[in-house]
Amino acid sequence: MKAIRQGDVILLPVQQVDGQKLPHLTLAEGEVTGHKHRISQGQAELSQKDGNLYLRVLSETALLTHEEHQAIPIPQGNWIVKIQREYEPEGWRYVAD
């Protein structure tokens, strides 16, 4: 499986998902707009361990949505959720959405 990107969020495939199960499916909240990257359709679980966020898609696909981006189907499997970074002359920074 390949990495999946939506705005400032990147999902990378992992072998297994560990951690404390979370009661929501919000992967990230926008720092600027307050919009959310979240799973809006399909069956999925979100968990957290050691500061990392993990997504397990249980159904064939789950839909990742955000108010300013096109919805993206996420295939069944295990994913680690990261915030993308970009390089500027001043150094590396996290992408803000």
Structural domain of residue 17, as residue ranges?
4-94
So what's the pLDDT on residue 91?
55
Q: Round to whole Å and give the CA distance between 91 and 43.
A: 39
Q: What is the pLDDT of residue 84?
A: 66
Per the structure, the count of domains in the chain is: 1
pLDDT by residue (tens digit) across 36-78? 889 999 999 999 999 999 999 999 999 999 888 889 999 999 9
Buried b (16+ CB within 10 A) or exposed e, 19-55: eeeeeebebbebeeeebbbbbeebebebeeeeeebbb
State how far the Cα of 30 lies from the Cα of 39, in Å rounded to an integer. 15
Which 3 state secondary structure label does DSSP give 84?
coil
**What is this structure's pTM?**
0.82
Residue 67 DSSP code? T
